[in-house]
Structures are given as C-alpha cells and as structure tokens.
C-alpha cells in the first residue's frame, strides 16, 4: 500500500527564525494515489500577534486563534496521522521548516518522512511555466473558485488534485485498475470453487443461441479473447474433474 499525505500550513509570516509560528495545518490522505476520505485539520494558537500582511493572506485573526490549542497540545495527533507516509507539499521547504521548528520547540524529533515537492514536479513537467497553485489549477482545469483566502485544508484538497495530474492524471487510475485486474483463468477457478447452489438455476441461453455464439467465436479465430477464455475455462474444468 502506497500511503501519501498531501499537506499545507498557514503561518504568521515567512520565517520561523524570526519568530513566526504555525496557525493552521491541513492534511489529506492518499492511498495508492486515490483520496481515502481521511483528513487532518487543526487551527493553532501561535502565542503571538498576527501581522496584518499574514491576516490578509489567510484571514485568521488573533481573536479567532486565541482559544485554539497550542502546537504542543496537538503534536501527537498530528504525528499519529502522518505516520511514516510520504508528504506531498507545494514549496516543501517552507512548510517543513515551520513544522520542524514547532516540533523542536515542543521537544520532538524533526520530520524524517520522505517528501515530494510539487513545485519541483511542476517545473520538471512544465519548464518555464508558472507553477503557483492557482496557475496549475488553471492549467489542469481544476476548480479553485472557493480559494478566496488561503486555507490549509482547502489548499491540501486542491493540491491533491494537482499532484495527481502532475504524476499522470487519469492514467494513474487506469494503471491501478490494470494492477488489480484478475486474469480470466483465475476468475474461472474462483467461480468453480465457490459454494454451489442447492438447486442449480435453469439455463437462460437456448441451444440455438449457444450454436450462434460458437460460430462467432470460430470466425474470430483462436487468438480472440473469447477463444482464450473458453480454452481457459475448459482447462480449469478439466483440472477440477481430476
């Protein structure tokens, strides 16, 4: 199982080295590149004032955050949610820097998780193009109309969609289907060993329909899917009979 956590944060400013703090964390879980429906979201009391420039970005005021938990009170829940999963982050150095500063302040080890930076992915995929989250949403036709202000959970949800496009979009889903597809012979064998009905169902296909089908399969040739399926079915039934 491939578990990834798409993560975003909001802060009081640009640098933890100058005293800026986290105020929000949002995470979305992906299992084998598919959203699982699980997420983690928390507002955090930064224990300091909120600069006007930061407030204009995310709209989180000192008053709103005053009764929210401090990072040290949520750190264990946060660590339990992310576990050892790969973290998918847009401009990862920024968020990782803040998270590690908060972890150290709370007396915890810094993050050791693998990290995928979607800014780097986007630059590799689209050299010379703008790689902001809004620009990538526009490029891939992803609706971000709800993003009037930055919000960690909403941005994580949007980033998850962008990330899946960056790594292949719909082709990823098709690949997963192919990986999990059961072969014809395996399906027949599974059907053969399943519990039988006490009273078999009456046949729903007439003798004429069976004959017409046999003629069609003969015309398609021995390499057709139908011919291979019938050969596999006959082989399985012979093994069962033995």
Confidence grade of residue 63 (pLDDT, cut at 50, 70, 90): very high
Q: Where are the domains of the chain?
A: 3-177, 184-241
How many whole angstroms separate alpha carbon 234 and alpha carbon 184? Answer: 12
Contact 131, 122 (CB under 8 A): yes
3-177 topology per CATH: Nucleotidyltransferase; domain 5 (3.30.420)
90 flagged as catalytic: no
Contact call for residues 59 and 149 (beta carbons, < 8 A): yes
Average pLDDT value for residue range 132-142:
95
**Around Cβ 204, how many Cβ atoms within 10 Å?**
6
Quickly list DSSP for 34-56.
EEEEEEEEEE---SS---HHHHH
- Report the candidate in 178, 172, 213, 23 with the shortest Cα–Cα distance to residue 102: 23
pLDDT (tens digit, 9 = 90+) per residue, 158-183? 999 999 999 997 555 445 544 444 44
Catalytic residue among 39, 108, 150, 213: 150
Q: Which helix (H) or strand (E) holds 176?
A: helix 170-179
Q: Which residue has the higher pLDDT, 238 or 214?
A: 214
Task: Give me the pLDDT at residue 144, please.
Answer: 87
Q: What is the mean pLDDT of residues 182-189?
A: 45
Distances (CA, A) of 11 to 4, 5, 22, 55: 23, 19, 4, 9
Lowest mean pLDDT among 29-43, 63-77, 78-92, 208-222: 208-222
Band of pLDDT at residue 218, cut at 50, 70 and 90: confident
Phi, psi (deg, nearest 5) at residue 20 = -75, 150
Nearest to 122 by CA among 130, 134, 114, 112: 130
Structure tokens at 187: 């399906």
Q: Output the pTM of the full model.
A: 0.71
């Amino acid at each position: 199982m491939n578990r990834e956590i798409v993560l975003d944060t909001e802060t009081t400013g640009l640098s933890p080295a100058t005293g800026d703090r986290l105020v929000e964390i949002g995470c979305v879980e992906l299992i084998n590149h598919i959203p699982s429906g699980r997420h983690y979201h928390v507002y955090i009391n930064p224990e300091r004032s909120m600069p006007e420039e930061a407030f204009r970005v995310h709209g989180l005021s000192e008053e709103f955050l005053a009764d929210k938990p401090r990072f040290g009170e949520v750190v264990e829940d946060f660590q339990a949610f992310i576990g050892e999963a790969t973290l998918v982050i847009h401009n990862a150095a920024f968020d990782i820097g803040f998270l590690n500063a908060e972890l150290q302040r709370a007396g915890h080890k810094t993050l050791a998780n693998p990290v995928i930076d979607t800014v780097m992915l986007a630059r590799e995929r689209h050299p010379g193009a703008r790689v902001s989250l809004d620009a990538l949403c526009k490029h891939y036709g992803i609706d971000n109309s709800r993003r009037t202000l930055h919000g960690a959970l909403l941005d994580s949800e949007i980033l998850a969609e962008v990330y899946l496009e960056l790594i292949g979009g719909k082709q990823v889903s098709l690949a997963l289907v192919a990986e999990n597809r059961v072969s014809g012979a395996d399906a027949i064998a599974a059907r053969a060993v399943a519990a039988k009905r006490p009273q078999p169902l009456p046949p729903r296909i007439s003798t004429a329909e069976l004959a017409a089908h046999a003629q069609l399969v003969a015309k398609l040739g021995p390499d057709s899917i139908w011919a291979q399926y019938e050969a596999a079915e006959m082989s399985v039934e012979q093994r069962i009979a033995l």
